[in-house]
Structure 1
Amino acid sequence: MPRVVLLGSPPGPDAAPGQSTPPAALTLPALPGSPTVIGKLHGQLASLDPAPVTIARAGDATAYRGLPGTLVETSDLAGDLRAVAEAAEQATENLLILPANSLVHDELLYQITKSKRGALALITKEPREEDENGDAIVPNVPIEEAEPEIGDRTLEGLPVRVRAAKSRVISVGSAYHAVTRPNAVLLGPLHVHVKHAPTLAEAARELAGMAHLFGPEDDLVQLLVLGLVRRGVSVGIRGRRDLFYRRVATPAEAEQFPAEMAAFNEDRARLNNAVKGADGFFTTFFVSTYSRFIARWAARRGLTPNQVTLISIALGVASAACFATGERLGMVAGGILIYFAFVFDCVDGQLARYARKFGVLGAWLDATFDRFKEYVVFAGLAVGAAVSGIGDVWTLALVALALQSIRHLLDFSFGAANRRKPPSPLPSIPLSVVPDTPLRAALEERKAARKNGIRSLLKMWSKAGKYRAVYWARKMVVFPIGERFAVIAITGALFDARVTFLALIIWGSVGAAYSLTGRLLRSLA
């Protein structure tokens, strides 16, 4: 459960001139009961942190009195930064920092807080410039030669002073700090792992001492990310995608944004997010296209992921029993049953993610009985072959079982070794330095130092994944569980156990060789 910190005052002392109440105190007339923005947000955050810390200027504090949690009143930006530092110093859990005037989907908050990255920020990038033909306009000066700037462009009311790459924030600016070719803004929510809380606190206190250098347009979240990035913390990025987030700053926006929010199908987004993004070809196109709807049906009827796992196990055992008959009709039935055993194996995970029901028992059941279903089907096929007079295929069954066991052992051991491996540190520069040129130069030096023949080969192979055919070929060659169950189902129904085991052994050997080669290269890189 994260420690939630709400930022109760908008950027600058006069960010919303003429308003008698802070933006967070505005009502949302289009929603049932016409709640205030802060009231709605507190309701959403209750399951994450029932007593959040709210940091607000003294003039805005009235709107936050009486709400759950702790109210910290400040007088200026320096006080805001020191209050954030104090909250970070006291944190024993991950931190979720966001503006108090946020209008956001529950699912987006959930996706941000479940991130395993050290830090994650919600951003939006500037639309790229296009010519009359719709082609992107390439700047005349390459980014390597571009001069840092303190941009005056705005996007959604925030200054465009962030340089974001594909996966993380490269540099952040302010009215004092210049950024090379900024292209994005930080929308608001910032999730920081507790291990980086001391770094955040130190950076916030140092920034507080520099508060006189910042402008009224400088956003508090932007300054916090600036401090993290310049201290070498990797801040990942996430877009809104198919979910909604906006900051409500005026009465007009309080009327307009809920209508825009209603146009998004949050339940469909939640359902789509319940499906793993890195599944194999067979799972993606022949299972997950409809299994997610089974998961939602199960969630609405109160079924638990563990109950669905038991259904999958029962189907797997029934499939093995059908294969053991050795008859053609039994083989066809076994193929159908093992397919649906895999479908429900996908459903249990999707149900857990959709209903947000996770547990140690469920994770253990899922991991253990995936192997159990696979191996009991091996036994059923071998028994069926003996019953039907095909011959003794137990040797092939044992080879297939040994091959898969070794692969699983390598998977788990490599994953454990990777988790123990410390990440390569990012460079840092003092907050007192105005341009980000030294930071970018240090990043280039780091990139050059890490570059060798093996890394270049791996990077080239990674880039090849942008081609759809290569992407799916790489997914299939490793012979994931979806493809294995598909091979068992198809070859078992159409041919016999000998063909099934030969297919498993041959494809499994190719997949093992491919995976082992890749892991050796990554270990040596």
Structure 2
Amino acid sequence: MTRVVLLGASPGPDISPTGLRLAALSGNPSVSERLRSQLTSMDPRFATIPTDDVASALRALADVAEQATESLFIIPENSVVHDELIYQITKSKRGALALVAKEPRVGVTEDNGLEENGPEDNAAEDRIPIDEAEPEIGMNRVEGLPVRLRVGKSRVVSVGTANHAVTRPNAVALGPLHISARNAPRLAETCRELAAMADRFGADDDLVQLVVFGLVRNGVSVGIRGRRDLFYRRVTTQEEVNEAGAEMAGMDEDRSRLNNAVKGADGFFTTFFVSTYSRYIARWAARRGLTPNQVTLISITLGVAAAACFATGERPWMVLGGVLIYFAFVFDCVDGQVARYARKFGVLGAWLDATFDRFKEYVVFAGLAVGWVVSGNGDEIWILALAALSLQSVRHLLDFSFGVANRRKPPAPLPTTPLDAPDDRDLRQKLTARKVERSQGLRGVLKMWTKAGKYRVVHWARKMIVFPIGERFAAIAITAALFDARITFITLVIWGSVAAAYTLTGRLMRSLV
């Protein structure tokens, strides 16, 4: 459950969007009516805060945050936005996430969908290193908002106001802001501090950007994301509404929803040999009412059928078993994609998916071993089968235990600076010192290895070396169809051992820093 906070239109006077109509959309709804209908499913009793008085609005937001027991989603009332964008923002696992746009808008980055600077802007910035740049009051505007954020690749680095300078501002906070439950107390505290100094802000300071300003200076990591292929815009006139409605109607929201159903961190085999088409199977299944659990049962059936084929030990059946285990994995991907596309999540489904992934894998091990024995090749194969099963079981145990321990680990603190500091020099100096400190010793090694991931070869090599489930099922399908069970188990044991050594080394290093 998410607590929704609807802000009156800002900056400037509180322009009620109740009379602004989206004629391009079915039913000719007003901007306010449409947004409220979008938010009702998340929070039927969402809070509404007028923004004509900044101090009062900040205190009201602090009151909501203090009472919140769940995450908060803050959005201006004059927002025209795709449902899918709201969903993606509110499902973020970041402690805080803001929708931002860079200045000027000339392109889209591959990793986060943020607009990049144009060549002239980049050339101008390159002339003076950022460490030598002077803080400034951002006066340029993007979509009516003052450019007063400095954003990096994944988070807001610094924020300014009409009276607080920021070093080389390059972005704006468009409006939507998601705050996790654990950061709600920090939000409340920050809003009260901001309310006490409201007289120091300018008339053009946007309420959301002020909140981000306070959070960043108080050491909260505020992540960023762009609109990517989805729509968001704040409107104040009927002309802007008409433009927004026409632009939004011309965008394919369903395609974005379908693409979002595919995990972004999948392995090499899954990304290039399954997800390229499995998403369309997922959409077909979802539109015909199939549930994720039903798709999971299809995957289990195919896995058991593959094991039965392997158990014959005969070449034609081994080939068929390889094909079936491949499609068992395809439908293993489809069940999660159906859940994400149709937004049908449940504890039972998650448990079934995790449990029967192992079941399919191990029953296939048994089928391969039985097939080898019935072919008259001896019982020694069971040693290899047991080794493969034991290795995989230990790996899953280590994965689970590390995941639990890692979730308990508090995030690394960010430096803070007083809200009344006139610029961000002190904050940037602290960030620089933190960067130097985190570049030494084991942290430095881990950081260097992480940065190496920007090269595609290294990125995919790291994905493959950990021997994820896609690669394991591919290895089983290919080696069983082309060779025999002994080669399959040897492949699983050797590759699995390398993967175990790699992941264990990395996790030990991360545990020590």
Same fold by TM-score, threshold 0.5 exceeded? yes
**Is residue 396 from structure 1 mapped to residue 384 from structure 2 by the alignment?**
yes
Measured in 1, the distance between the counterparts of 2:9 and 2:125 equals 38
Counterpart in 2 of 1:18?
none
Measured in 2, the distance between the counterparts of 1:25 and 1:454 equals 59
Measured in 2, the distance between the counterparts of 1:129 and 1:275 equals 29
**Is residue 381 from structure 1 mapped to residue 368 from structure 2 by the alignment?**
yes
Alignment length (residue pairs): 501
Measured in 2, the distance between the counterparts of 1:366 and 1:163 equals 42
Q: What's the CA shift for 1:467?
A: 1.1
Q: Percent identity?
A: 72
Counterpart in 1 of 2:112?
none
> Which residue of 395, 400, 404 maps to 1:412?
400
Question: What amino acid maps onto 2:289 in structure 1?
Answer: G
Measured in 1, the distance between the counterparts of 2:248 and 2:66 equals 35
Question: Secondary structure at 1:144's aligned position in 2?
Answer: helix
Any residues of structure 2 matched to 1:399-478 within 5 Å, and which? 399-478=387-466
Question: What amino acid maps onto 1:39 in structure 2?
Answer: E
Counterpart in 2 of 1:122?
99
Is 433-442 or 201-210 further displaced after alignment?
201-210
Contact 1:150 1:175 in 2 (8 A): yes
Measured in 2, the distance between the counterparts of 1:156 and 1:365 equals 47
> Which residue of 35, 40, 43 maps to 1:41?
35
Measured in 2, the distance between the counterparts of 1:225 and 1:138 equals 24
Counterpart in 2 of 1:493?
481
Counterpart in 2 of 1:278?
265
> Which residue of 79, 86, 91 maps to 1:109?
86
Contact 1:464 1:471 in 2 (8 A): yes
Question: Secondary structure at 2:150's aligned position in 1?
Answer: strand
Contact 1:9 1:55 in 2 (8 A): no
Post-superposition CA distance 1:73-105 (Å, at most 9, x none): xx5221111111111122222111010011001
Contact 1:385 1:391 in 2 (8 A): yes
Shift in CA distance, 139/25, structure 1 to aligned 2, threshold 3 Å: farther
Contact 2:262 2:275 in 1 (8 A): yes
Is 483-492 or 84-93 further displaced after alignment?
84-93
Is 47-56 or 278-287 further displaced after alignment?
47-56
Q: What's the CA shift for 1:263?
A: 2.1
Is 495-504 or 441-450 further displaced after alignment?
441-450
Contact 2:164 2:422 in 1 (8 A): yes
**Is residue 503 from structure 1 mapped to residue 497 from structure 2 by the alignment?**
no
Contact 2:49 2:60 in 1 (8 A): yes
Post-superposition CA distance 1:218-253 (Å, at most 9, x none): 100000111111111111111111111000111111
**Is residue 53 from structure 1 mapped to residue 40 from structure 2 by the alignment?**
no
Question: Secondary structure at 1:121's aligned position in 2?
Answer: strand
Measured in 1, the distance between the counterparts of 2:303 and 2:394 equals 22
Counterpart in 2 of 1:87?
64
**Is residue 289 from structure 1 mapped to residue 256 from structure 2 by the alignment?**
no
Question: What amino acid maps onto 1:363 in structure 2?
Answer: A
Counterpart in 1 of 2:214?
227
**Is residue 32 from structure 1 mapped to residue 9 from structure 2 by the alignment?**
no
Q: What's the CA shift for 1:131?
A: 4.7
Counterpart in 2 of 1:172?
159
Q: CA RMSD in A?
A: 1.5
Question: What amino acid maps onto 1:88 in structure 2?
Answer: A
Any residues of structure 2 matched to 1:132-143 within 5 Å, and which? 136-143=123-130
Post-superposition CA distance 1:334-367 (Å, at most 9, x none): 1111001000000001111111111111111111
Measured in 1, the distance between the counterparts of 2:505 and 2:186 equals 38
Q: What's the CA shift for 1:130?
A: 4.4
> Which residue of 330, 335, 343 maps to 1:356?
343
Counterpart in 2 of 1:255?
242
Question: Secondary structure at 2:176's aligned position in 1?
Answer: strand
Question: What amino acid maps onto 2:157 in structure 1?
Answer: I
Q: What's the CA shift for 1:46?
A: 1.2
Measured in 1, the distance between the counterparts of 2:181 and 2:388 equals 44
Counterpart in 1 of 2:179?
192
Any unmatched runs of 5+ in structure 2? 105-115
Counterpart in 1 of 2:472?
484
Measured in 2, the distance between the counterparts of 1:187 and 1:386 equals 65
Measured in 2, the distance between the counterparts of 1:112 and 1:502 equals 44
Counterpart in 1 of 2:77?
100
Post-superposition CA distance 1:232-286 (Å, at most 9, x none): 1111111111111000111111111111112221101001000000101110011
Post-superposition CA distance 1:95-154 (Å, at most 9, x none): 11010011001111001111111111100111355458x985543221111111111100
Q: TM-score, normalised by structure 1?
A: 0.93
Measured in 2, the distance between the counterparts of 1:197 and 1:25 equals 33
Question: What amino acid maps onto 2:154 in structure 1?
Answer: S
Any residues of structure 2 matched to 1:152-163 within 5 Å, and which? 152-163=139-150
Question: What amino acid maps onto 1:348 in structure 2?
Answer: D
Measured in 1, the distance between the counterparts of 2:461 and 2:227 equals 30
Shift in CA distance, 146/514, structure 1 to aligned 2, threshold 3 Å: same
Post-superposition CA distance 1:264-323 (Å, at most 9, x none): 211010010000001011100110011111111111111111111111111111110110
Shift in CA distance, 258/470, structure 1 to aligned 2, threshold 3 Å: same
Contact 1:41 1:100 in 2 (8 A): yes
> Which residue of 511, 515, 523 maps to 2:503?
515
Measured in 1, the distance between the counterparts of 2:472 and 2:297 equals 20
Is 311-320 or 389-398 further displaced after alignment?
389-398
Q: What's the CA shift for 1:449?
A: 2.8
Measured in 2, the distance between the counterparts of 1:356 and 1:30 equals 27
Q: What's the CA shift for 1:520?
A: 1.7
Contact 2:438 2:444 in 1 (8 A): no
Counterpart in 2 of 1:3?
3
Q: What's the CA shift for 1:446?
A: 2.1
Any unmatched runs of 5+ in structure 1? 16-20, 58-74
Question: What amino acid maps onto 1:260 in structure 2?
Answer: E
Counterpart in 2 of 1:72?
none
Any residues of structure 2 matched to 1:205-224 within 5 Å, and which? 205-224=192-211
**Is residue 12 from structure 1 mapped to residue 12 from structure 2 by the alignment?**
yes
Measured in 2, the distance between the counterparts of 1:225 and 1:199 equals 12
Measured in 2, the distance between the counterparts of 1:54 and 1:335 equals 57
Counterpart in 2 of 1:347?
334
